[in-house]
Amino acid sequence: MVNLTIDNIPVEVNENTTILEAARLAGINIPTLCFLKDINEIAACRVCIVEIDGMDRLISSCNNSVREGMVVYTNSPRVREARRINVELILSQHNTSCAYCPRSGNCTLQKIANDLGIYKIPYKNIIPKTLWSHRAILKRDASKCIKCMRCIQICDKVQTLHIWDIDGTGSRTTVDVSHNRMIMDSDCSLCGQCITHCPVGALSARDDIGKFYDALADSEKTVVVQVAPAVRAAWGEELGISREQATMGKITAALKRMGVDYVFDTDFSADLTIMEEGNELLKRLSEGEHKYPMFTSCCPGWVRFMKSQFPEMVGCLSTSKSPQQMFGAILKTYYAGLIGVPADRLYFVSIMPCVAKKKEASLSTMNSAGTGQDVDLVLTTREFVQIIRSEHISVDHLSEIPCDQPIVTSSGAGVIFGTTGGVMEAALRTAYAVAEGHNPEPDAFREIRGEGGIREAVFTIGGRDLHVAAASGLGNARKLVKAVKSGKAHYDFVEIMACPGGCSGGGGQPIKDGSELYGIRGSELYNLDKNSEIRYSHENPAIVSLYENYLEKPLSERSEQLLHTDHTAWEMPLAPDDI
């Protein structure tokens, strides 16, 4: 143990504790800006500086460790002056049009500047110009970037895609797409982790809210919305309601208030995905030994990653479409008939915890009904919350409303799609039932749950050992695929989600700087599953009737046509050679 004083308070902490950490343990919250624990401890912003007795210069507290007998001041006159000037310097190169910034009210720089009471700065405001493609889904506003380097670090260390890099040198140093590429020409997975870890409004996803309003205003359109499982676990965070209160029923009510005609739950098409993917797995297993496992394909960030990093492995991806796209294909065919609206008048909107879904919906292959894109618009959870705020909907006062007929039901298996390992667990529940002729215990496959980036398990199904693995985060995905390719690991079925923690931690989810909320959101989804009346996808009555009345059976000719896709039918830029 090490003894020191911080602001005259005696503190005893473990060796190698940072000064920042030690101060927090003593109840002193030193402000930080660029710091992101374990990811970005580079002390670039110099906001967390402290004064140490006997040291000539001020020291960054985020990446320097305590020493016995250290005397630390976090608010000495020198520190006060330095912290303020450093924040003023950052502001002097920042586009402070805060009133119309997507991160207004949720911006770490804004908070620090407000906390310090900075109402004017003595420096000339020199704002870098932005050059960015208008078509890009991932947006970067150079005028807002504070060069904290978090985006580079998260993409390098967690996602291992190295999309971002330092650009330029000297005072013009900034961040841009690596290898002097344009974002559209890069192998970016569009996971959006750089967005959710940006402390300011420099990175964002394309704002599509205007198109939603246009559709609502168009009397020719029937607006239908699907809501992904992980959205319900997170949307309330920014609206000040508890997770228990932030239900799917309230989401439906809010959407109805906005004027949406039909609200459906993507849990339903998650169940549908399980039917197709589970049976695809069983079919594959019945064909005999495979060198490589079947990989899930419901995460578009992961599909993009596989296509760019391991193009030779694309054949191992399940051909099943993601729940978003299955819903689009089936809505604009079967359900269009059921609700009596021609497909070309249906405007189908997804609310997703995801940035990559915006791209997935626009792929040329996602037009199964023949009336344009199966999904017309994708909004992120953040955009959905934004609309609730601009529609001045008071969520406290909303009464819960069920989803619309004819798709009222969904299963707990569909809900857990929103967290890492959930797709695997849901698929195994159904695959077991198909292979064994009876249902397993609903929690029989809970071993695949958990916090680790890569988890593996062996289950006996249909008289054979099934080796499975689930990974989240693209760095873990890369590790896993490499192990599979080199023969060091052998699996039958692998679930991969691009974002750490799965969709719960998705790049389209609400942002809380400094906190990783996927764990708590994920447990909320497991709670919903536990309390569901239906725990198996194949027992969802809407699924049963869909197959009875339209699709016939999983992997039928019609299923193949509507619910499966060719991952090779569109181009994805490959990873640069030197990675």
Partner 1 sequence: MSRLSIITPDYAQTVVENLYKDVERRITASPPGICPIDISNAFLKMCHAQTCGKCVPCRVGLTQLSSLIDDVLDGNATLEHISLIEKTARVIKNTADCAIGYEAANMVLRGVIGFRDDYTEHILNRRCRFNIYQPVPCVALCPAGVDIPGYIALVNDGRCADAVRLIRKDNPFPTACAFVCEHPCEARCRRNMIDDSINIRALKRYAVDHSGIVQAPENAPSTGKKIAIIGGGPSGLSAAYYLSLMGHHAEVFEKRDKLGGMLRYGIPSYRLPRERLQEDIDCILSTGITVHTGIEIGRDITIPQLKDDFDCIYIAIGAHNDKKIGIEGEDKRGVISAVEMLRSIGDNTLPDFTKKRVVVVGGGNVAMDCTRSAKRLGAESVTCVYRRRRVDMTALPEEVEGAESEGCDILCLQSPVKISGDEDGNVTSIWIQPQIAGEIDKSGRPRPVNAKAEPIRLACDIVIAAVGQGIEIQPFEEFGVKVKRGVIDTLASNEVTNIDGVFAGGDCVTGPATVIRAIAAGKVAAANIDEYLGFNHIISTDVDVPLPRLDVKPACGRMNTKERSAGERNTDFNLIETGLTEEEALVESGRCLRCDHYGYGIFKGGRVDKW
Residues lying near partner 1 in the complex (CB under 8 A) are found at 16, 41-44, 52, 54-56, 59, 63-65, 67, 129, 131, 149, 152-153, 165-170, 172, 176, 180
| Greatest Cα-to-Cα distance within the chain, rounded to the nearest angstrom | 80
- CB nearer to partner 1: give 54 or 340: 54
Contact by Cβ (8 Å): 376, 390 = no
Q: In the bound complex, what is the minimum distance in angstroms from residue 48's beta carbon to partner 1?
A: 14
Spatial CA neighbour of 145 closest among 193, 107, 113, 112: 107
Determine the residue type at 254: A
Angle at 303 between CA 298 and CA 309, to 5 degrees: 155
Q: In the bound complex, what is the minimum distance in angstroms from residue 131's beta carbon to partner 1?
A: 6
- CB nearer to partner 1: give 54 or 210: 54
Q: In the bound complex, what is the minimum distance in angstroms from residue 510's beta carbon to partner 1?
A: 28
Backbone angles phi and psi of 410, in degrees to 5: -150, 170
- CB nearer to partner 1: give 16 or 399: 16
Determine the residue type at 219: S
Strands 346-352 and 377-380: parallel
- CB nearer to partner 1: give 159 or 320: 159
Contact by Cβ (8 Å): 93, 200 = no
Q: In the bound complex, what is the minimum distance in angstroms from residue 155's beta carbon to partner 1?
A: 12
Q: In the bound complex, what is the minimum distance in angstroms from residue 170's beta carbon to partner 1?
A: 5
Contact by Cβ (8 Å): 254, 398 = yes
- CB nearer to partner 1: give 130 or 527: 130
Which residues is 564 bridged to in the sheet?
320
- CB nearer to partner 1: give 66 or 551: 66
The Cα–Cα gap between 67 and 18 comes to 9
- CB nearer to partner 1: give 180 or 364: 180
Give the SS3 label for residue 98. Answer: helix
Angle at 402 between CA 401 and CA 407, to 5 degrees: 150
Residue 63, burial from CB neighbour count under 10 angstroms (0-12, 13-18, 19+): middle
**What one-character-per-residue DSSP string does 344-362 give?**
GGEEEEEEES-SHHHHHHT
Q: In the bound complex, what is the minimum distance in angstroms from residue 470's beta carbon to partner 1?
A: 27
Residue 89, burial from CB neighbour count under 10 angstroms (0-12, 13-18, 19+): middle
Spatial CA neighbour of 272 closest among 328, 337, 327, 316: 327
Q: In the bound complex, what is the minimum distance in angstroms from residue 166's beta carbon to partner 1?
A: 6
The Cα–Cα gap between 485 and 493 comes to 14
424 Cβ partners below 8 Å, 6+ apart?
Answer: 296, 445, 448, 468, 470, 493, 495
Q: In the bound complex, what is the minimum distance in angstroms from residue 91's beta carbon to partner 1?
A: 20
- CB nearer to partner 1: give 169 or 219: 169
What's the alpha-carbon Rg for the chain, to the nearest Å?
A: 25
Q: In the bound complex, what is the minimum distance in angstroms from residue 387's beta carbon to partner 1?
A: 35
- CB nearer to partner 1: give 34 or 474: 34
- CB nearer to partner 1: give 172 or 291: 172
- CB nearer to partner 1: give 15 or 436: 15
- CB nearer to partner 1: give 67 or 530: 67
Q: In the bound complex, what is the minimum distance in angstroms from residue 168's beta carbon to partner 1?
A: 4
Which residues is 494 bridged to in the sheet?
295, 469
Own/partner pairs for 233-236, CB < 8 Å, 24+ apart? 233/418, 233/504, 233/521, 233/522, 233/524, 233/525, 234/353, 234/381, 234/504, 234/509, 234/510, 234/517, 234/521, 235/381, 235/384, 235/385, 235/510, 236/395
Q: In the bound complex, what is the minimum distance in angstroms from residue 384's beta carbon to partner 1?
A: 35
Spatial CA neighbour of 162 closest among 4, 24, 309: 309
